[in-house]
């Protein structure tokens, strides 16, 4: 019985991240529009966009290879698996031990690897520019992310996200300098990884400064829908990660029964809303950077994360 419940919770988590991700994007867009006094599109516009894309035909470039057609599914699968492994409303899920935080980071790395390859497949300069900038950003963001993982692992004594989340919810954590640094670094990495302002602009096409959109310029129809959904999932993943590690209050547990799960779900939605509003405010308040300012931005994240880790190596209580 317990196993069935746990499997059900796991399945609910996988479905809920899939269904929630477009809503989250819609909410962020709505908030951004309201902040500049526009009416903004409806909350469910991202769902409509996805459905519309799926109904459209695919226009494939002449020399696109099989890799170009397989990649959207691979990106989607890797991102979905990663997103499903992050505790959203409950910890201790059935398959949470299949992968720890390092694996989740690496899964996103796999998705990016194939996305960059797909960008180069058609052989236009747009794909190349996007891919080469994406790997440049990743080459700084990934080590920063791993160092953040190191800090969390040193504080919590584990890289297993469920254990980390449970530890962060316990009273023995307290305020730590290293955790503060990790949080700032994690937010910076999350902004870069999700191609948000000031690193990239998710709302533009055909600008020389764009990165993510340049890589997927050749995609259309159902392929584009998959990639869009994967990028929605990625934003949800990072928000879930930040909320489960740094805002672990109210997190339910698969063994705690339905009441704790319900509280967890409500708390999770509340946390997502708060983070989405913060993101919208931040994006409205800052301007986009030049591409070659991005290494400075991410270098700062890397150094913060390294400093946090070093502090923990010096003393576990810092």
Partner 1 sequence: MSSTVALLLCGPAALLATAILAAAVSRLAAATRLVYGAALVISATLLAIVASHLAGNPGAVSATTLPLGLPFTGARFRLDGLSAFFLVVVNLGGGITSLYGLGYGRHEPAPHRVLPFYPAFLAGMNLVVLADDAFSFLLSWEFMSLASWALVMAHHRDEANRRAGTIYLVMASFGTLALLLAFGTLAGPAGTYAFDAMRTAHPGRFAAGAVLVLMLLGAGSKAGLVPLHAWLPLAHPAAPSHVSALMSGIMTKVAVYGFIRVVFDLLGEPAWWSGIAVLLIGGVTAVLGILHALMEKDLKRLLAYSTIENIGVIFASLGLALAFKANAMPSAAALAFTAALFHVLNHSFFKSLLFFGAGAVLTAAGERDMEKLGGLIHRLPVTSFVFLVGCVSISALPPFNGFASEWLIFQAILRSPELPQWGLKVIVPAVGGMLALSAALAAACFVKAFGITFLGRARSAVAERAREVDRWSLAAMAVLAAFCLIAGILPGLVIDGLSPVTLSLIGDRMPVQMAEPWLSIVPIAESRSSYNGLLVFVFIAVSASLAAFFIHRFASHALRRGIAWGCGFDEAVPAAQYTAVSFAQPIRRVFGGFAFRARETVEMPAPGALEPARLKVDMHDPAWEIFYQPITGAIDFATERLNHLQFLTIRRYLTLVFVYLVILLLVLALWP
Given the DSSP bridges, would you call strands 252-253 and 90-91 parallel, antiparallel or unpaired? parallel
Told to check if 278 binds partner 1 by CB under 8 A, we report no
In this structure, the number of other CB atoms found within 10 A of the CB of residue 22 comes to: 22
Contacting partner 1 within 173-202 (CB under 8 A): none
- Taking the complex as a whole, how short is the minimal distance between the CB of residue 153 and partner 1, in angstroms? 5
Angle 207-290-32 from CA coordinates, rounded to 5°: 70
Q: Are the beta carbons of 227 and 76 closer than 8 angstroms?
A: yes
Told to check if 306 binds partner 1 by CB under 8 A, we report yes
The two three-digit tokens of residue 130, written as one number: 């996007």
Of the pair 67, 286, the CB lying nearest partner 1 is at 67
Q: How many residues bind partner 1 (CB under 8 A)?
A: 85
- Taking the complex as a whole, how short is the minimal distance between the CB of residue 284 and partner 1, in angstroms? 28
Told to check if 276 binds partner 1 by CB under 8 A, we report no
Cα–chain center distance at 89: 16
Residue with tokens 């899964």: 107
Contacting partner 1 within 21-60 (CB under 8 A): 54-60
Told to check if 127 binds partner 1 by CB under 8 A, we report yes
Contacting partner 1 within 244-273 (CB under 8 A): none
Cα–chain center distance at 199: 15
Told to check if 153 binds partner 1 by CB under 8 A, we report yes
Comparing CA positions, the residue from 142, 116, 138, 114 lying closest to residue 129 is 116
Told to check if 138 binds partner 1 by CB under 8 A, we report yes
- Taking the complex as a whole, how short is the minimal distance between the CB of residue 127 and partner 1, in angstroms? 8
């Amino acid at each position: 019985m317990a196993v069935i419940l746990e499997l059900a919770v796991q399945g609910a988590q996988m479905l809920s991240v899939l269904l929630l991700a477009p809503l989250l994007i819609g909410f962020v867009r709505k908030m951004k529009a309201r902040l500049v006094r526009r009416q903004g599109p409806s909350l469910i516009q991202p769902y409509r966009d996805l459905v519309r894309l799926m109904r459209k035909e695919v226009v494939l470039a002449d020399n696109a290879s099989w890799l170009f057609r397989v990649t959207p599914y691979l990106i989607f699968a890797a991102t979905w698996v990663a997103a499903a492994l992050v505790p959203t409303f409950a910890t201790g899920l059935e398959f949470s031990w299949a992968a720890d935080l390092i694996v989740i980071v690496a899964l996103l790395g796999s998705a990016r690897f194939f996305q960059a390859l797909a960008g180069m497949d058609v052989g236009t300069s747009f794909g190349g520019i996007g891919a080469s900038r994406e790997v440049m950003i990743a080459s700084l963001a990934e080590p920063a992310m791993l160092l953040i993982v190191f800090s969390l692992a040193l504080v919590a004594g584990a890289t297993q996200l469920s254990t980390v989340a449970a530890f962060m919810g316990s009273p023995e954590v307290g305020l730590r300098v290293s955790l503060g640094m990790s949080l700032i670094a994690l937010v910076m990495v999350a902004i870069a990884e999700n191609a948000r302002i000031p690193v990239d602009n998710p709302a533009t096409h055909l600008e020389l400064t764009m990165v993510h959109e340049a890589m997927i310029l050749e995609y259309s129809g159902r392929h584009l829908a998959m990639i869009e959904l994967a990028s929605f999932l990625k934003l949800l993943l990072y928000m879930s990660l930040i909320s489960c590690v740094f805002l672990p209050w109210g997190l339910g547990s698969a063994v705690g029964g339905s009441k704790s799960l319900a509280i967890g779900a409500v708390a999770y939605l509340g946390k997502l809303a708060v983070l989405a509003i913060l993101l919208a405010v931040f994006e409205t308040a800052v301007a986009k950077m030049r591409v070659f300012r991005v290494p400075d931005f991410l270098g700062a994240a890397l150094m913060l994360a390294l400093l946090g880790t070093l502090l923990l190596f010096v003393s576990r209580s810092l």
